[in-house]
Protein backbone atom coordinates (compact mmCIF):
# COMPACT_ATOMS: atom_id res chain seq x y z
CA UNK A 1 0.00 0.00 0.00
CA UNK A 2 1.10 3.56 -0.69
CA UNK A 3 1.83 5.81 2.25
CA UNK A 4 -0.83 8.48 2.79
CA UNK A 5 0.19 11.99 3.79
CA UNK A 6 -1.12 12.79 7.21
CA UNK A 7 -3.50 15.77 7.40
CA UNK A 8 -3.44 15.88 11.16
CA UNK A 9 -1.70 18.93 12.67
CA UNK A 10 1.80 18.22 13.78
CA UNK A 11 2.85 18.83 17.33
CA UNK A 12 3.92 22.45 17.84
CA UNK A 13 2.43 23.66 14.51
CA UNK A 14 0.38 26.92 14.75
CA UNK A 15 -2.71 27.49 12.53
CA UNK A 16 -4.38 30.90 12.07
CA UNK A 17 -7.70 31.34 13.83
CA UNK A 18 -10.85 31.56 11.69
CA UNK A 19 -12.68 33.62 14.28
CA UNK A 20 -13.46 37.30 13.43
CA UNK A 21 -11.25 39.94 14.95
CA UNK A 22 -12.18 41.10 18.38
CA UNK A 23 -13.33 44.51 17.19
CA UNK A 24 -16.57 46.35 17.82
CA UNK A 25 -17.52 46.23 14.15
CA UNK A 26 -16.83 42.53 13.50
CA UNK A 27 -18.24 41.44 16.85
CA UNK A 28 -21.36 43.58 16.27
CA UNK A 29 -20.86 45.67 19.38
CA UNK A 30 -21.27 49.08 17.74
CA UNK A 31 -23.73 51.43 19.44
CA UNK A 32 -27.17 51.19 17.84
CA UNK A 33 -30.60 52.67 18.30
CA UNK A 34 -32.94 50.00 19.57
CA UNK A 35 -36.34 51.59 20.00
CA UNK A 36 -38.85 49.95 22.29
CA UNK A 37 -42.16 49.65 20.48
CA UNK A 38 -44.86 50.75 22.89
CA UNK A 39 -48.53 51.20 22.18
CA UNK A 40 -48.08 54.98 22.28
CA UNK A 41 -45.29 55.07 19.67
CA UNK A 42 -47.06 52.61 17.35
CA UNK A 43 -50.40 54.42 17.44
CA UNK A 44 -48.84 57.86 17.07
CA UNK A 45 -46.89 56.63 14.03
CA UNK A 46 -50.02 55.31 12.31
CA UNK A 47 -52.16 58.37 13.13
CA UNK A 48 -49.48 60.89 12.13
CA UNK A 49 -48.83 59.03 8.88
CA UNK A 50 -52.55 58.92 8.15
CA UNK A 51 -53.00 62.62 8.88
CA UNK A 52 -50.04 63.56 6.66
CA UNK A 53 -51.19 61.40 3.73
CA UNK A 54 -54.79 62.61 3.98
CA UNK A 55 -53.70 66.25 4.07
CA UNK A 56 -51.33 65.83 1.13
CA UNK A 57 -53.95 63.88 -0.83
CA UNK A 58 -56.64 66.51 -0.36
CA UNK A 59 -54.23 69.27 -1.40
CA UNK A 60 -53.19 67.35 -4.53
CA UNK A 61 -56.79 66.60 -5.52
CA UNK A 62 -57.87 70.23 -5.05
CA UNK A 63 -54.83 71.36 -7.04
CA UNK A 64 -55.59 68.94 -9.90
CA UNK A 65 -59.24 70.05 -9.98
CA UNK A 66 -58.18 73.68 -10.35
CA UNK A 67 -56.55 72.94 -13.73
CA UNK A 68 -58.48 74.39 -16.68
CA UNK A 69 -58.65 71.88 -19.51
CA UNK A 70 -60.58 71.37 -22.73
CA UNK A 71 -60.32 68.22 -24.84
CA UNK A 72 -61.43 67.96 -28.48
CA UNK A 73 -61.77 64.56 -30.18
CA UNK A 74 -61.28 64.98 -33.93
CA UNK A 75 -61.31 61.32 -35.00
CA UNK A 76 -64.87 61.44 -36.37
CA UNK A 77 -64.82 65.07 -37.48
CA UNK A 78 -61.89 64.27 -39.78
CA UNK A 79 -63.38 60.99 -41.03
CA UNK A 80 -62.82 61.83 -44.71
CA UNK A 81 -59.11 62.32 -44.13
CA UNK A 82 -59.05 59.16 -42.04
CA UNK A 83 -60.46 57.12 -44.94
CA UNK A 84 -57.88 58.64 -47.27
CA UNK A 85 -55.04 57.65 -44.94
CA UNK A 86 -56.26 54.05 -44.71
CA UNK A 87 -54.71 53.49 -48.15
CA UNK A 88 -50.93 53.73 -47.79
CA UNK A 89 -50.58 54.69 -51.46
CA UNK A 90 -52.07 58.11 -50.61
CA UNK A 91 -49.18 59.05 -48.34
CA UNK A 92 -48.19 62.01 -50.52
CA UNK A 93 -51.73 63.48 -50.78
CA UNK A 94 -52.55 66.29 -48.39
CA UNK A 95 -55.77 66.30 -46.39
CA UNK A 96 -57.03 69.06 -44.11
CA UNK A 97 -59.94 69.34 -41.72
CA UNK A 98 -61.22 71.88 -39.19
CA UNK A 99 -62.77 71.57 -35.74
CA UNK A 100 -64.64 74.47 -34.14
CA UNK A 101 -65.13 74.99 -30.41
CA UNK A 102 -65.97 77.76 -27.97
CA UNK A 103 -64.32 78.88 -24.76
CA UNK A 104 -66.98 80.22 -22.42
CA UNK A 105 -64.42 81.62 -19.97
CA UNK A 106 -60.86 82.92 -20.25
CA UNK A 107 -58.04 80.45 -19.69
CA UNK A 108 -55.51 82.53 -17.82
CA UNK A 109 -51.82 81.76 -17.43
CA UNK A 110 -49.60 79.46 -19.45
CA UNK A 111 -51.63 77.27 -21.83
CA UNK A 112 -50.22 74.03 -23.17
CA UNK A 113 -51.41 72.11 -26.22
CA UNK A 114 -51.21 68.31 -26.20
CA UNK A 115 -52.09 65.65 -28.73
CA UNK A 116 -53.64 62.52 -27.31
CA UNK A 117 -53.81 58.98 -28.65
CA UNK A 118 -56.13 56.22 -27.50
CA UNK A 119 -55.60 52.47 -27.95
CA UNK A 120 -52.02 52.98 -29.20
CA UNK A 121 -49.80 50.49 -27.36
CA UNK A 122 -46.23 51.71 -27.01
CA UNK A 123 -45.35 49.29 -24.20
CA UNK A 124 -44.71 46.22 -26.37
CA UNK A 125 -41.18 44.96 -25.73
CA UNK A 126 -40.20 44.69 -29.38
CA UNK A 127 -41.48 48.21 -29.97
CA UNK A 128 -39.76 49.75 -26.94
CA UNK A 129 -36.30 48.42 -27.88
CA UNK A 130 -36.67 49.19 -31.60
CA UNK A 131 -34.25 52.12 -31.68
CA UNK A 132 -30.54 52.87 -31.88
CA UNK A 133 -29.38 55.18 -29.11
CA UNK A 134 -25.92 55.38 -30.69
CA UNK A 135 -27.43 56.60 -33.95
CA UNK A 136 -29.52 59.19 -32.08
CA UNK A 137 -26.28 60.50 -30.54
CA UNK A 138 -25.03 61.30 -34.04
CA UNK A 139 -22.60 58.38 -34.22
CA UNK A 140 -21.98 56.34 -37.35
CA UNK A 141 -23.37 52.88 -36.65
CA UNK A 142 -24.35 49.79 -38.58
CA UNK A 143 -28.11 49.85 -38.05
CA UNK A 144 -28.41 46.23 -39.22
CA UNK A 145 -26.68 45.18 -35.99
CA UNK A 146 -29.04 47.22 -33.83
CA UNK A 147 -32.48 46.41 -32.47
CA UNK A 148 -34.17 48.51 -35.19
CA UNK A 149 -35.26 45.54 -37.34
CA UNK A 150 -37.25 45.45 -39.55
CA UNK A 151 -36.90 49.25 -39.95
CA UNK A 152 -33.14 49.28 -40.58
CA UNK A 153 -32.43 49.52 -44.32
CA UNK A 154 -34.29 49.57 -47.61
CA UNK A 155 -33.92 46.79 -50.17
CA UNK A 156 -31.16 48.70 -51.95
CA UNK A 157 -29.17 48.80 -48.69
CA UNK A 158 -29.78 52.46 -47.83
CA UNK A 159 -29.95 52.82 -44.03
CA UNK A 160 -32.90 54.57 -42.41
CA UNK A 161 -32.30 57.66 -40.33
CA UNK A 162 -33.66 57.39 -37.74
CA UNK A 163 -34.16 53.65 -37.66
CA UNK A 164 -36.60 51.61 -35.60
CA UNK A 165 -40.34 51.17 -35.10
CA UNK A 166 -40.68 54.04 -32.60
CA UNK A 167 -39.28 56.63 -34.99
CA UNK A 168 -41.17 55.19 -37.97
CA UNK A 169 -44.53 55.58 -36.18
CA UNK A 170 -43.93 59.20 -35.12
CA UNK A 171 -47.05 61.35 -34.77
CA UNK A 172 -47.04 63.77 -37.70
CA UNK A 173 -50.37 65.60 -37.72
CA UNK A 174 -49.95 69.38 -37.96
CA UNK A 175 -52.29 71.35 -35.69
CA UNK A 176 -52.81 75.12 -35.84
CA UNK A 177 -55.12 77.16 -33.60
CA UNK A 178 -57.11 80.19 -34.80
CA UNK A 179 -59.04 82.72 -32.74
CA UNK A 180 -62.18 84.32 -34.21
CA UNK A 181 -62.20 87.86 -32.87
CA UNK A 182 -64.90 90.40 -33.64
CA UNK A 183 -63.01 91.90 -36.55
CA UNK A 184 -60.90 89.07 -38.01
CA UNK A 185 -59.51 85.57 -37.57
CA UNK A 186 -56.15 85.54 -35.79
CA UNK A 187 -53.73 82.64 -35.69
CA UNK A 188 -52.74 81.88 -32.11
CA UNK A 189 -48.91 82.02 -31.81
CA UNK A 190 -47.58 78.65 -30.68
CA UNK A 191 -44.09 77.79 -29.42
CA UNK A 192 -42.62 74.56 -30.80
CA UNK A 193 -39.34 74.62 -28.86
CA UNK A 194 -38.58 74.31 -25.17
CA UNK A 195 -41.13 71.50 -24.77
CA UNK A 196 -38.78 68.54 -24.28
CA UNK A 197 -36.70 67.54 -21.26
CA UNK A 198 -33.37 69.32 -20.94
CA UNK A 199 -31.51 66.03 -20.57
CA UNK A 200 -33.05 64.70 -23.78
CA UNK A 201 -32.36 67.84 -25.78
CA UNK A 202 -28.77 68.31 -24.58
CA UNK A 203 -27.54 64.83 -23.62
CA UNK A 204 -29.41 61.95 -25.26
CA UNK A 205 -29.87 63.36 -28.78
CA UNK A 206 -27.22 64.79 -31.10
CA UNK A 207 -27.00 65.46 -34.82
CA UNK A 208 -24.08 64.06 -36.83
CA UNK A 209 -21.25 66.58 -37.19
CA UNK A 210 -20.96 68.19 -40.60
CA UNK A 211 -20.83 71.61 -42.21
CA UNK A 212 -24.59 71.44 -42.84
CA UNK A 213 -27.40 69.12 -41.77
CA UNK A 214 -28.31 67.76 -45.19
CA UNK A 215 -24.75 66.58 -45.80
CA UNK A 216 -24.66 65.07 -42.30
CA UNK A 217 -27.48 62.71 -43.28
CA UNK A 218 -26.14 62.01 -46.77
CA UNK A 219 -26.41 58.35 -47.71
CA UNK A 220 -29.47 57.77 -45.51
CA UNK A 221 -33.20 57.81 -46.17
CA UNK A 222 -36.30 58.73 -44.19
CA UNK A 223 -38.34 56.00 -42.45
CA UNK A 224 -41.10 54.48 -44.65
CA UNK A 225 -44.02 56.27 -42.94
CA UNK A 226 -42.38 59.70 -42.92
CA UNK A 227 -43.25 62.34 -45.49
CA UNK A 228 -39.91 64.15 -45.30
CA UNK A 229 -36.36 63.37 -44.13
CA UNK A 230 -35.20 64.04 -40.60
CA UNK A 231 -33.13 67.10 -41.55
CA UNK A 232 -36.30 68.86 -42.77
CA UNK A 233 -38.39 68.47 -39.61
CA UNK A 234 -37.97 72.18 -38.89
CA UNK A 235 -36.53 74.17 -41.75
CA UNK A 236 -37.05 77.48 -39.95
CA UNK A 237 -34.90 76.73 -36.89
CA UNK A 238 -31.61 74.85 -37.30
CA UNK A 239 -31.44 74.26 -33.53
CA UNK A 240 -34.75 72.38 -33.71
CA UNK A 241 -33.94 70.21 -36.69
CA UNK A 242 -32.76 66.64 -37.15
CA UNK A 243 -32.48 64.39 -34.13
CA UNK A 244 -32.80 67.37 -31.74
CA UNK A 245 -36.27 68.27 -32.97
CA UNK A 246 -38.59 68.67 -29.97
CA UNK A 247 -41.52 66.80 -31.54
CA UNK A 248 -39.26 63.88 -32.40
CA UNK A 249 -37.62 63.81 -28.95
CA UNK A 250 -40.98 63.86 -27.15
CA UNK A 251 -42.31 61.02 -29.32
CA UNK A 252 -39.24 58.87 -28.65
CA UNK A 253 -40.06 58.87 -24.90
CA UNK A 254 -42.63 56.08 -25.09
CA UNK A 255 -45.68 55.78 -22.86
CA UNK A 256 -46.45 52.91 -20.47
CA UNK A 257 -50.19 53.02 -21.20
CA UNK A 258 -52.33 52.64 -24.31
CA UNK A 259 -54.00 56.03 -23.78
CA UNK A 260 -51.57 58.89 -23.41
CA UNK A 261 -50.88 62.51 -24.29
CA UNK A 262 -47.72 64.27 -25.42
CA UNK A 263 -46.89 67.95 -25.24
CA UNK A 264 -47.17 69.47 -28.71
CA UNK A 265 -47.06 73.27 -28.37
CA UNK A 266 -47.22 76.15 -25.87
CA UNK A 267 -49.24 79.30 -26.41
CA UNK A 268 -46.93 82.29 -26.78
CA UNK A 269 -48.13 85.00 -24.41
CA UNK A 270 -47.97 88.00 -26.70
CA UNK A 271 -50.49 90.55 -28.02
CA UNK A 272 -54.09 89.42 -27.39
CA UNK A 273 -52.82 86.27 -25.67
CA UNK A 274 -50.54 87.92 -23.11
CA UNK A 275 -52.76 86.71 -20.26
CA UNK A 276 -53.71 83.38 -21.85
CA UNK A 277 -56.58 82.40 -24.13
CA UNK A 278 -59.53 84.81 -24.05
CA UNK A 279 -63.09 83.52 -24.20
CA UNK A 280 -64.56 83.21 -27.68
CA UNK A 281 -64.72 81.02 -30.76
CA UNK A 282 -61.70 78.99 -31.87
CA UNK A 283 -60.85 76.63 -34.69
CA UNK A 284 -58.31 73.85 -34.97
CA UNK A 285 -56.89 73.54 -38.50
CA UNK A 286 -55.47 70.03 -38.82
CA UNK A 287 -53.28 68.57 -41.51
CA UNK A 288 -54.28 64.93 -41.11
CA UNK A 289 -51.38 62.48 -41.64
CA UNK A 290 -51.45 59.98 -38.75
CA UNK A 291 -53.90 57.07 -39.39
CA UNK A 292 -55.52 55.40 -36.38
CA UNK A 293 -58.45 53.40 -37.81
CA UNK A 294 -56.45 50.20 -38.34
CA UNK A 295 -55.87 49.76 -34.61
CA UNK A 296 -59.27 51.26 -33.62
CA UNK A 297 -57.63 54.30 -32.09
CA UNK A 298 -58.82 57.81 -31.37
CA UNK A 299 -57.10 61.19 -31.61
CA UNK A 300 -57.76 64.35 -29.67
CA UNK A 301 -56.26 67.76 -28.91
CA UNK A 302 -56.05 69.06 -25.35
CA UNK A 303 -55.64 72.65 -24.19
CA UNK A 304 -54.64 72.74 -20.53
CA UNK A 305 -53.05 74.83 -17.82
CA UNK A 306 -50.69 73.50 -15.16
CA UNK A 307 -50.36 74.07 -11.42
CA UNK A 308 -47.60 73.44 -8.88
CA UNK A 309 -48.47 69.72 -8.80
CA UNK A 310 -48.55 69.32 -12.59
CA UNK A 311 -51.47 68.80 -14.94
CA UNK A 312 -54.97 67.48 -14.52
CA UNK A 313 -54.15 64.09 -13.01
CA UNK A 314 -55.81 63.24 -9.64
CA UNK A 315 -54.15 59.80 -9.37
CA UNK A 316 -51.39 60.86 -6.95
CA UNK A 317 -53.88 62.65 -4.71
CA UNK A 318 -56.20 59.64 -4.66
CA UNK A 319 -53.25 57.37 -3.83
CA UNK A 320 -52.34 59.59 -0.86
CA UNK A 321 -55.95 59.62 0.38
CA UNK A 322 -56.22 55.84 0.15
CA UNK A 323 -52.91 55.38 1.96
CA UNK A 324 -53.88 57.87 4.67
CA UNK A 325 -57.27 56.24 5.16
CA UNK A 326 -55.66 52.79 5.44
CA UNK A 327 -53.12 54.04 8.01
CA UNK A 328 -55.82 55.78 10.09
CA UNK A 329 -58.12 52.75 10.06
CA UNK A 330 -55.21 50.52 11.05
CA UNK A 331 -54.54 52.83 13.98
CA UNK A 332 -58.16 52.56 15.14
CA UNK A 333 -58.10 48.75 14.80
CA UNK A 334 -54.90 48.51 16.86
CA UNK A 335 -56.45 50.83 19.47
CA UNK A 336 -59.55 48.65 19.72
CA UNK A 337 -57.49 45.47 20.08
CA UNK A 338 -55.30 47.08 22.72
CA UNK A 339 -58.28 48.25 24.79
CA UNK A 340 -59.92 44.85 24.54
CA UNK A 341 -56.80 42.99 25.67
CA UNK A 342 -56.15 45.46 28.49
CA UNK A 343 -59.70 45.02 29.75
CA UNK A 344 -59.29 41.23 29.82
CA UNK A 345 -55.95 41.54 31.63
CA UNK A 346 -57.51 43.80 34.29
CA UNK A 347 -60.38 41.32 34.77
CA UNK A 348 -58.08 38.34 35.31
CA UNK A 349 -55.88 40.28 37.73
CA UNK A 350 -58.92 40.97 39.93
What is the model's pLDDT at position 9? 56
Distances, alpha carbon 59 to alpha carbons 53, 63, 64, 66, 316, in Å: 10, 6, 9, 11, 10
Instruction: Walk along the chain (350 residues) and give the pLDDT tens digit of each residue.
Output: 455 555 555 666 666 777 888 888 888 888 888 878 888 889 999 999 999 999 999 999 999 888 899 999 999 899 888 888 887 777 778 899 999 999 999 999 899 999 999 999 999 999 999 999 999 999 988 988 889 989 999 989 899 999 999 999 999 999 999 999 877 899 999 999 999 999 999 999 999 998 889 899 998 999 998 989 999 999 888 899 999 999 999 999 999 999 999 999 999 999 889 999 999 999 999 999 998 988 889 999 999 998 888 888 889 999 999 999 999 999 999 999 988 887 776 655 55
What is the model's pLDDT at position 34? 80
In whole angstroms, what is the distance from residue 298 CA to residue 197 CA?
Answer: 26
Tell me, yes or no, whether 21 lies in a domain: no
Tell me, yes or no, whether 187 lies in a domain: yes
What is the model's pLDDT at position 21? 83
pTM score > 0.85 for this model?
Answer: no
SS (H, E, C) 136-204: HCCCCCCHHHCCCCCCCECCCCCEECCCCHHHHCCCCCEEEEEEECCCCEEECCEECCCCCCHHHHHHH
In whole angstroms, what is the distance from residue 201 CA to residue 196 CA?
Answer: 7
Tell me, yes or no, whether 114 lies in a domain: yes
DSSP 34: -
Tell me, yes or no, whether 347 lies in a domain: no
Cβ–Cβ under 8 Å, residues 179 and 280: yes
What is the model's pLDDT at position 206? 93
Pick from 303, 309, 302: nearest CA to 277: 303
In whole angstroms, what is the distance from residue 160 CA to residue 144 CA?
Answer: 10
Tell me, yes or no, whether 153 lies in a domain: yes
Tell me, yes or no, whether 203 lies in a domain: yes
Tell me, yes or no, whether 199 lies in a domain: yes
Residue ranges making up the domain that contains 70:
55-316
What is the model's pLDDT at position 346? 63
28 burial level (CB within 10 Å; 0-12, 13-18, 19+) = exposed
Tell me, yes or no, whether 142 lies in a domain: yes
In whole angstroms, what is the distance from residue 69 CA to residue 64 CA?
Answer: 11
Q: Where are the beta strands (DSSP E) in the chain?
A: 69-73, 96-103, 107-108, 112-118, 174-180, 185-187, 190-191, 260-267, 276-277, 280-287, 298-304
**Number of separate domains in the chain:** 1
In whole angstroms, what is the distance from residue 48 CA to residue 286 CA?
Answer: 52
Q: What is the end-to-end Cα distance of the chain in Å, rounded?
A: 82
Amino acid sequence: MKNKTSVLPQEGEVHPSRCPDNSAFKQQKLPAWKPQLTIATVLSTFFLTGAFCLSAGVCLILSANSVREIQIDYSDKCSDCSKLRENSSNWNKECHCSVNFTLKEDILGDVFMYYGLQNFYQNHRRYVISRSDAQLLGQKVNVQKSYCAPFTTYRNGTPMAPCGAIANSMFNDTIDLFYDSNSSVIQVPLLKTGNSWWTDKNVKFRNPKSYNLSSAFAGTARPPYWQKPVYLLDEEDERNNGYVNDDFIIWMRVSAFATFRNLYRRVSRIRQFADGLPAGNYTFHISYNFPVTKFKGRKHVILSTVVWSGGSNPFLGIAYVVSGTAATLTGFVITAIHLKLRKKKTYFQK
